[in-house]
Amino acid sequence: MATLDRSRLASLLAAEQATYTDRHPRSRDLFAAADNLFGRVPMTWMNMWTGGFPLYLDHATGNRITDVDGHTYVDFALGDTGAMAGHSPAPTVAAVQRRAGELGGITTMLPTEDAQWVGAELERRFGLPLWSFTLSATDANRWAIRLARLATGRPKVLVFAYCYHGSVDEAFALPGPDGKAESRPGNVAPPVDLDLTTRVATWNDLASVEAALAHGDVAAVLTEPALTNIGIVLPEDGFLAGVRELATRYGALLMVDETHTFSTGWGGATRAWGLEPDIFVIGKSIGGGIPCGAYGITTEVAAAVTRHTEAGDADIVDVGGVGGTLAGNALSTAAMRATLGEVLTEEAFAHMTGLATAFTAGVQQTLDELDVPWSISQLGARAEYRFARPAPRTGEKSAAAADEELDAYLHLALCNRGILMTPFHNMALMCPETSREDVDRHTAVFREVVGALFA
């Protein structure tokens, strides 16, 4: 088995860093001049890009990004799923132009016909009958958690260690030594002790799920169908069915967040794997990049909520804590209609999944040839490599396989050779415009840069 030589990694990383700095003088200058931005970036997480400063965008189309220094990249980051439909897909752009320009009315507080079309399409894909719209997946999770608490009369949310569901307070938890939820390191000023709001279980460990649910205080199990924010950690056979069965047995709702796992297919993992969530959450991609999100609920959840609103002990139409002024606006519903109707179609998913399979095989070939102890996991149109072999089966084990120096080397080496990977991950996502040539280019570059490391 190949072993990693840390001093070799350090010198390769230094060389890639120097190349990156030399190749991007304009991005570097713009970053240095951004005195009025906290952290010098529009949002602090943009400092996750490796290299000391982010690339500045000049223009983007399909799966290509061109930076302000004139370099063009094959983009496998795709806005960490926000641009899964490709950059500025033509049908979405046309719908947005029509809504904002020709028709007029970006945000009016009035519904448009598009919203019902989108609701019906979401039911066709994911099965749940009743939908509300948001401006982000984070909002969808937050508001749906409130409904889950209301519907069940229970205070806590059960999450999995190393999950991520956006900036949702309840979800930044790890299991403490006594099994109670503890705040995850780095969690910014949690409003209350996590033990008051959260229970935590271990992915692929049904005994831990049952132990948490047995307390009888969990309103909803909030989960992705596969963990995607600590590498991709796939569910073992029977795990998701077991979670569903346990949630029902202990009176908790099952809340499935498919913001990333939508990559599994046109109906997400929910359709592909026959999941039966009580609440379904999605965001990022379905508006083709225009801010939007959605949550779907069953008629049973809706009835439980309505019992409370009719009794007057909860308010979902005014200042009760569910909703936002811009949510469901005419522009984002027009974007969702066009993106779901004309871009992220069944045919597009077949194309994207085929390419991710080729991407996965290309990476695996290098790992096998050089006997590198890493793994790659695929989830439909996305794939991600992780520095552990075999692929970790829990969030805890996957977290232990993290290696910041290796991440930095791979991200910079690929970037210097014209390939962008998602900064928080070693994740590659295919969009309708990704081609086999783009995948083959990654395969060749990956072989080159991993070969240099294990030479």
Which residue among 86, 89, 166, 277 contacts ligand PLP (CB under 6 A)? 166
Which segment (36-44, 53-61, 252-260, 425-433) binds ligand PLP by CB under 6 A? 252-260
Please select the residue that binds ligand PLP; options are 260, 382, 386, 417, rule is CB under 6 A.
260
Q: What sign does the dihedral 230-231-236-241 (CA atoms) show?
A: positive
Q: Given the DSSP bridges, would you call strands 293-297 and 130-134 parallel, antiparallel or unpaired?
A: antiparallel
Q: Under the criterion CB under 6 A, does residue 259 sit at the interface with ligand PLP?
A: yes
Given 27, 112, 138, 416, the residue binding ligand PLP (CB under 6 A): 138
Q: Which stretch binds ligand PLP (CB under 6 A): 12-20, 164-172, 270-278, 379-387?
A: 164-172
Q: Which of these ranges, 112-120, 130-138, 271-279, 443-451, lies near ligand PLP under the rule CB under 6 A?
A: 130-138
Residue 137, interface with ligand PLP (CB under 6 A)?
yes
User: Does 433 help bind ligand PLP (rule: CB under 6 A)?
Assistant: no
384 is an interface residue for ligand PLP by CB under 6 A: no
Q: How far is the CB of 192 from ligand PLP (least distance, A)?
A: 21
Minimum gap (Å) between residue 427 Cβ and ligand PLP: 11
> For residue 289, what are the contacts with CB-CB under 8 A and spacing of at least 6?
79, 82, 83, 85, 87, 88, 92, 335
> How far are the Cα atoms of 110, 173, 381 from residue 375, in angstroms, in the given order?
49, 26, 17
Residue 289 to residues 85, 89, 92, 135, 285, Cα–Cα distance (Å):
8, 9, 9, 11, 6
362 SS3 class: helix
Decide whether 182 or 224 has the Cβ nearer to ligand PLP. 224
Q: Site residues for ligand PLP, window 192-231 (CB under 6 A)?
A: 224, 229
User: Rounded to 10 degrees, what is the CA torsion of 32, 36, 41, 45?
Assistant: 130
CB proximity list for 220: less than 8 A, separation 6 or greater: 144, 145, 148, 149, 152, 157, 158, 247, 252, 253, 254, 255, 278, 279
Residue 426 and residue 386 in contact, taking contact as beta carbons nearer than 8 Å:
yes
Site string for ligand PLP, 263-302 (x = CB under 6 A): --------------------xx------------------
What residues are paired with 420 via a beta bridge? 75
The C-alpha atoms of residue 340 and residue 83 are separated, in whole angstroms, by 13
In the complex, what is the shortest distance from the CB of residue 257 to ligand PLP, in angstroms, rounded to a whole number?
Answer: 5
The site string for ligand PLP over 391-430 (x = CB under 6 A, - otherwise) reads ----------------------------------------
Dihedral sign (CA 200, 202, 204, 206): negative
- Which residues are paired to 401 by β-bridges? none
Binding map of ligand PLP across residues 43-82, x = CB under 6 A, - = no contact: -------------------------------------x--
H-type alpha helices, 86-213 = 90-97, 113-126, 137-152, 206-213
Q: How far apart are CA 343 and CA 349, in angstroms?
A: 10
> Looking at beta carbons only, is 16 or 139 nearer to ligand PLP?
139
Query: By CB under 6 A, which span of 24-32, 257-265, 314-322, 370-378 interacts with ligand PLP?
Result: 257-265
- 165 lies in the site for ligand PLP, by CB under 6 A: yes
**CB-based contacts of 188, cutoff 8 Å, min separation 6:** none
Select 16 or 257, whichever has its Cβ closest to ligand PLP.
Answer: 257
Residue sitting closest to ligand PLP (CB) = 166
- Measured from the CB atom, the residue of 138 and 329 that comes closer to ligand PLP is 138
The yes or no reply on residue 382 touching ligand PLP (CB under 6 A) is: no
Q: What's the order of all strands across the beta sheet hosting 375-379? A: 375-379, 382-386, 427-429
Distance (Å, whole) CA 163 – CA 183: 13
Burial class from Cβ neighbours inside 10 Å (0-12, 13-18, 19+) for residue 357 reads: middle
β partners of residue 160: 201
Backbone angles phi, psi at 320, to 5 degrees: -85, 0
Name which of 222 and 445 has its Cβ closer to ligand PLP.
222
The interface region with ligand PLP, picked from 37-45, 131-139, 334-342, 356-364 by CB under 6 A, is 131-139
Please pick, from the candidates 257, 278, 384, 433, the single residue that binds ligand PLP as defined by CB under 6 A.
Answer: 257
Q: Which stretch binds ligand PLP (CB under 6 A): 24-32, 208-216, 256-264, 381-389?
A: 256-264
**Footprint on residues 321-350 left by ligand PLP (CB under 6 A):** none
* Count of residues near ligand PLP by CB under 6 A: 14
Residues 6+ apart with CB under 8 A from 322: 143, 146, 147, 316
| Residue ranges that bind ligand PLP, judged by CB under 6 A | 80, 136-138, 164-166, 224, 229, 257, 259-260, 283-284
